[in-house]
């Protein structure tokens, strides 16, 4: 990558951060859950995404909610996950340090509880998931990729306030 391409990439990253911040400031719900499959380490990608949200200007509370309450809503599972309440799945990560003070504290994991049982945090090469799901979840996040056929306006400036964008297409999440 030459210097010009690198500067272009930096500007695009800064634009993505600005858009994320503006969207959240105007009441938009942002959910975390990196779609990286084989390209990242599960778990770590989520921590990095929350850190990027904070770096973009979201509060640490908004970043935490993006990975809990809001993600549960997007997956249509807010009656099962996303908050700590009686009757919910007992899946919980306990961290050392307050993530509201510093979002990186989510990486300092003390304990993981899954389905009400404390998981052994040691490495075992013969590990097999002891808690397989007995049946597939009916989750709303497995939608086909959206296809945009029309968008207006095609560009906005930072001075555009309020910003209104109209998007037409197919396969959007239906809510």
* Residues 99, 64 contacting (CB under 8 angstroms): yes
* Residues 50, 63 contacting (CB under 8 angstroms): yes
Structure tokens at 156: 């906005």
* Residues 58, 24 contacting (CB under 8 angstroms): yes
* Residues 98, 110 contacting (CB under 8 angstroms): no
Residue among 141, 156, 145 nearest 22 (CA): 156
Per-residue pLDDT of the chain (175 residues; tens, 9 = 90+): 899 999 999 999 999 999 999 999 999 999 998 776 556 666 788 899 999 999 999 999 999 999 999 999 988 889 998 999 888 887 889 999 999 999 999 999 999 988 788 988 887 777 776 656 555 545 455 556 678 888 888 877 777 677 788 888 887 776 5
Report pLDDT for 42. 67
Residue among 140, 128, 134 nearest 171 (CA): 140
Report pLDDT for 151. 87
Helix (H) or strand (E) holding 95: strand 92-95
Report pLDDT for 33. 81
Report pLDDT for 124. 75
């Amino acid at each position: 990558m030459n210097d010009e391409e690198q500067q272009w990439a930096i500007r695009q990253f800064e634009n993505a951060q600005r858009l994320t911040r503006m969207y959240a400031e105007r009441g938009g719900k942002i959910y975390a859950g990196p779609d990286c499959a084989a390209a990242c380490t599960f778990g770590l990608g989520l921590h990095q995404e929350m850190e990027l949200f904070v770096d973009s200007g979201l509060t640490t509370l908004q970043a935490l909610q993006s990975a809990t309450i809001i993600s549960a809503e997007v997956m249509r599972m807010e009656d099962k996950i996303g908050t700590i309440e009686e009757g919910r799945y007992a899946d919980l990560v306990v961290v050392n340090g307050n993530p509201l003070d510093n979002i990186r504290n989510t990486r300092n994991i003390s304990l993981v509880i899954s389905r009400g049982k404390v998981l052994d945090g040691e490495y075992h090469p013969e590990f097999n998931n002891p808690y397989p799901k007995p049946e597939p979840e009916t989750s709303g996040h497995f939608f086909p990729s959206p296809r945009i056929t029309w968008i207006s306006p095609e560009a906005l400036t930072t001075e555009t306030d309020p910003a209104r964008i109209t998007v037409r297409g197919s396969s959007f999440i239906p809510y």
